[in-house]
Amino acid sequence: MHEIALCEAIIEIVEEEARWRSFSKVRTVFVEIGALSHVAPEAMKFCFPAVVAGTIADGAALEIVELPGAAWCMACSRSVEIAQRYWACPCCGSYQLQVRAGEEMRVKELEVD
């Protein structure tokens, strides 16, 4: 389960921001996760409380915004939404898709004291 390591990386980001911006408590961490990122949002929510215990984010909520996948179809020259890699273009059925969005995972916002 690589989501534990991802939660640990999020806490590193949060702690670095706390040092830089001088806040003492994190109430909520907002994270964007792309549909094509191979990250399971439910696993993140499960792991997060255990990983943040004893840190500046102890007791913080994890709010996940799931972003759709998007690709450019080289056959029909359209931008299309996709839910998984290697899916066919919903417009023309071609498999010549270049992924444009949905692979990302980022800490978008922090609610702090």
In a domain, 29, yes or no: yes
How many domains does the chain divide into? 1
Residue 87 lies in a domain: no
Distance CA 70, CA 84 (A): 9
Residue 39 resides in a domain:
yes
Residue 78 resides in a domain: no
- Domain range for 46: 3-68+102-112
Judge contact between 92 and 76, C-beta under 8 A.
Answer: yes
d(CA 51, CA 59): 10
Instruction: Determine, yes or no, domain membership for 95.
Output: no
Q: Is the pLDDT of residue 96 over 80?
A: yes
Q: How confident is the model at residue 1 (pLDDT cuts 50, 70, 90)?
A: low
Assigned domain for 9 exists: yes
Q: Is the pLDDT of residue 88 over 90?
A: yes
> What pLDDT score was predicted for residue 4?
95
CA distance 104 to 66: 10
Quick check: is 97 in a domain?
no
60/1 Cα distance (integer angstroms): 21
Angle at CA 74, nearest 5°, toward 98 and 104?
Answer: 15
| Span 28-48, average pLDDT | 96
Q: 106: domain CATH number?
A: 3.30.2320.50
> What's the pTM?
0.87
Contact 37, 84 (CB under 8 A): no
Domain assignment present for residue 83? The answer is: no
